[in-house]
Amino acid sequence: MGFTTLAGTRAPVRVWTDPYAIEPQAARQLRNIGALPWVEGVAVMPDVHFGKGATVGSVIAMRQAVSPAAVGVDIGCGMSAVRTSLTAADLPDDLAGLRSAIEAAIPVGFAQRDEPVDPRRVRGLEQGGWAGFWARFADLHRGVAQLEVRAQRQLGTLGGGNHFIEVCLEQGGADSGRVWLMLHSGSRNIGKELAERHMAVARRLPHNADLPDRDLAVFLAGTPEMDAYRRDLWWAQEYARRNRAVMLAVLCGVVRERFPQVRYDEPISCHHNYVAEESYGGVEVLVTRKGAIRAGRGDLGIIPGSMGTGSYIVRGKGNADAYCSASHGAGRRMSRAQAKRTYGTADLVAQTAGVECRKDAGVVDEIPAAYKDITEVMAQQEDLVEVVAHLKQVVCVKG
């Protein structure tokens, strides 16, 4: 498809969707971002929609600055997936037992573990760096000091909202019917607590006094506030990565108990709410992806749809105009409140036919119709990624 450029901004704002289809609130946010003096450029993904401060589905390149609201409160949120040796023929007709086993092994929603995960007892989990990782907790913002035990017990848990665990089947091609395991989660409560504390600090800084939106407040390089945020940011991003790694290893164990013959390929994992140090055109920038994945040339990534549609494993094309990025999913087309007003459980049952999942009022806000058409979203970013595999879920666990 290629991009169009949003008019009326200081820095270039390149859009990989119909700019007239962007909701007015989100378009206003994008123009506010493009007006910031520290912004080198913005890439807008086809799943773009209104968010707090910065739009979800935006990639922001800044010189010597970073905005915590442009990362969001779920620091390091992202996806993990692994292809198995199983095929659809190996699965039972009734998948309720498998869903129950997953829910029993991995706490969901607000639940946490009774005891912290011992990495040595989780088969297939990376063993390195755990002691050093937890030792750095003492260096984090002093306001979270009392949350260490909670953070330890929430490691390896799913959370709620749009977080999920799925068993999927590959669609089409030589490996049609191959079983994949997939999950979506982030840094749980500790990421949120860190993000909110730093966003509050940023809003009070004098150089942010005249911004068009105080939620876009930034930290500047070379300041104690920036150093503190980056320290906590890197830790929370690692927490999110380790959280997904624990869950994926546990999930693989659940499947192995039922199918002892199963083998697993190398897992794929990617953040889609995070900051990275990158260079474009010889310019060093801090790239913030809020609802976007890195899609550098050859990078493998995961772009999920909704709980009744499907997902894609992709390989990046390294498009520098998009800061080597792609969408993080289908993107919402209506708010959670609007979805609940518009749809009921009967609609949810119809739209998730063939998927073993919750079909109650508690997840109506996650109904597929509340999201954009993932097929259309993928078509709009053909110059950003190529499709490696198209997956369709048969089991979906929600918090």
283-290 and 273-280 beta bridge pairing:
antiparallel
Asked if residue 374 lies in contact with residue 309, where contact means CB atoms within 8 angstroms, the answer is yes
The yes-or-no answer on residue 328 being catalytic is yes
Rounded to whole angstroms, the Cα distance separating 9 from 349 reads 44
Contact between 298 and 318 under an 8 Å Cβ cutoff? The reply is yes
Sign of the alpha-carbon torsion through 217, 193, 73, 285: positive
CB 384 within 8 Å of CB 312: no
Q: What CA–CA distance (Å, rounded) separates 45 from 331? A: 9
What's the CA gap between 211 and 209, in Å, rounded?
A: 6
Which of the residues 49, 198, 272, 328 is marked catalytic? 328
Catalytically annotated residues? 328
